Amino acid sequence: MPFSRRNMLRSTACGFGYLALQGLCGSQAAAAVGPSLVERKPVLAPRAKRVIFLCMSGGPAQMDTFDYKPQTGNKKHPGSVFQFQQHGESGLWVSELFPETAKFADDLCVINGMHADTGIHAQSFLQLHTGDRLRERPSLGSWITYGLGTENQNLPGFISLNTSKSSIYSSAFLPSIYNGTPIGVNGEDMAEATIRNVSGTQLSLTEQRSQLDFVQLMNRQHALQRPGDENLESVIESMELGFRMQAEAPELLDINRETQETLERYQVGKHTSSVGTCRVSDFGRQCLLARRFSEAGVRFIEVNHGSWDQHKNHRRDLQANCEFTDAPIAALLGDLKQRGLLDETLVIWGGEFGRPGLTPDDGKDETGHNARGFTFWMAGGGVKQGYVHGKTNETGSQAVEGKVHFRDLHATILHLLGLPPDDLTYWYAGREHRLTGPEGGKVVHELFA
């Protein structure tokens, strides 16, 4: 049948009706309660406002980084194979592989009693990020933005840099507005990495706003017929966030606005190739972006550096990894401190487990997976400075004092942000869920300043 003017008017009458209703109900619908990144007041007095997680994927060897074990003469477990030295007024032991980070020894809170449930990479990595090692669950960054929102309404609450696994930034059953925004996905060149689908349209901002207003008017009318549909409300909120991001995100990603001295301190572009089995991203660029995003009010930023899975050529590859990450980490800590941001920003360093030490085998260096004892450190955000919590046995293979499970780490992070771990829950599939799981986590108050 020919498409006449009468048919056209009949089929678009609903759209005209939506336009007429915009002034009457648009603002009320937009203000409806639902999933939102609006900043929320913490329940407890917060010690930190935001988190930067320096994720070292693969399992850094604690005995050659921050858990000093003097040589024992035991051929099977010889102790730390790199030199250690005490630094700062605290006398914190730090490996020779981290000379720049060692300058901030008096800012570090080292946890040498970490432990987890499994030495399987994928499962322990998932547990580190979500609290569950078998099923996809909301990630740490998603839980935090669910509890606190974001400080900047023009940016996501959670950004994940150089990630390869969607599960580590997924909001899972939480509304999708709490999903992490990946930048530099699957190891792509960080120099070319952008926030996907933020720009590229041929329409002006004014034209985009008009177009979005029309679409959102229909979305909100649709939502009024489905009260309580959080997925629908999240889509509406996400579309608004996407529009707002165009004004701020491109400028934040443009690090050419930084001085040459800053770029050199972060070693931007210096390490982007492979060494041995290690595929290396531009870690310096990630750390610089983390500083810029934290300044702009992003609640949770994850920085990723892989290739710590060193079963052979331990000395060579560990040295390479530390060389690539040491100066950028120090630059990040220094900038946060100099700008007065470190006190309110919790910086966390660690991986999914550790390695118990080096065992000679036919002239090749062998180190295994070890979830029974390993090291994390934190800085800023209300934690003790120049402090070591817990210890492993003489071989570094098992936490024996001050044990901290991933659930305890999660509970401690939430508490530092002013969120009671047991009270941060979400109803899904007939029961309440929380980051620390049904077992719960213990807040490690000994770490607090």
pLDDT for 159: 93
Least confident piece of the model among 125-129, 247-251, 288-292, 444-448: 247-251
Instruction: Say which residues have a Cβ less than 8 Å from residue 113's Cβ, sequence separation at least 6.
Output: 373, 389, 390, 391, 392, 399, 400, 401, 402, 403, 404
The range of the structural domain enclosing residue 181 comes to 50-447
Instruction: Confirm whether 361 is domain-assigned.
Output: yes
pLDDT for 381: 97
- What is the CATH number for 159? 3.40.720
Instruction: Confirm whether 385 is domain-assigned.
Output: yes
CA distance 165 to 151: 26
3-state secondary structure of 229: coil
Please determine, for residue 397, whether its predicted confidence score (pLDDT) is greater than 70. yes
Please determine, for residue 232, whether its predicted confidence score (pLDDT) is greater than 50. yes
CA distance 368 to 391: 19
Least confident piece of the model among 132-136, 177-181, 311-315: 311-315
Please determine, for residue 5, whether its predicted confidence score (pLDDT) is greater than 80. no
Query: Which strand (E) or helix (H) includes residue 253?
Result: helix 230-253
Render pLDDT for 399-424 as a digit per residue (tens, 0 to 9): 999 999 999 999 999 999 999 999 99
Strands 359-361 and 387-389: unpaired
pLDDT for 238: 62
DSSP codes joined into one string, 236-249: HHHHHHHHHHHHHH
Class of residue 405 by CB neighbours under 10 A (exposed 0-12, middle 13-18, buried 19+) = buried
Question: What residues pair up with 53 in beta bridges, in sequence order?
Answer: 302, 348
Please determine, for residue 444, whether its predicted confidence score (pLDDT) is greater than 70. yes
Please determine, for residue 241, whether its predicted confidence score (pLDDT) is greater than 80. no
Mean per-residue pLDDT for 213-222? 68
pLDDT band at 245; cut points 50, 70, 90: low
Please determine, for residue 154, whether its predicted confidence score (pLDDT) is greater than 80. yes
pLDDT for 244: 64
Instruction: Confirm whether 306 is domain-assigned.
Output: yes
In contact, 50 and 383? CB cutoff 8 Å: no
Least confident piece of the model among 342-346, 358-362, 388-392: 358-362
Instruction: Confirm whether 311 is domain-assigned.
Output: yes
Please determine, for residue 82, whether its predicted confidence score (pLDDT) is greater than 80. yes
CA distance 142 to 159: 10
CA angle 16, 19, 22 (to 5 degrees): 155
CA distance 447 to 307: 29
Please determine, for residue 291, whether its predicted confidence score (pLDDT) is greater than 70. yes
pLDDT band at 211; cut points 50, 70, 90: low
Please determine, for residue 72, whether its predicted confidence score (pLDDT) is greater than 80. no
Instruction: Confirm whether 24 is domain-assigned.
Output: no
Please determine, for residue 24, whether its predicted confidence score (pLDDT) is greater than 70. no
pLDDT for 34: 61
Please determine, for residue 215, whether its predicted confidence score (pLDDT) is greater than 80. no
Please determine, for residue 365, whether its predicted confidence score (pLDDT) is greater than 70. no
Mean per-residue pLDDT for 426-439? 94
Structural tokens at position 407: 């659930």
Instruction: Confirm whether 106 is domain-assigned.
Output: yes
Least confident piece of the model among 222-231, 303-312, 386-395: 222-231
pLDDT for 306: 85
pLDDT for 409: 98
pLDDT for 8: 42
Mean per-residue pLDDT for 232-242? 64
| Chain mean pLDDT for the chain | 83
pLDDT for 278: 42
Instruction: Confirm whether 18 is domain-assigned.
Output: no
Number of domains in the chain: 1
In contact, 153 and 448? CB cutoff 8 Å: no
Instruction: Confirm whether 27 is domain-assigned.
Output: no
3-state secondary structure of 82: coil
3-state secondary structure of 295: helix
Mean per-residue pLDDT for 383-395? 95
Is pLDDT larger for residue 71 or for residue 260?
Answer: 260
pLDDT for 19: 34
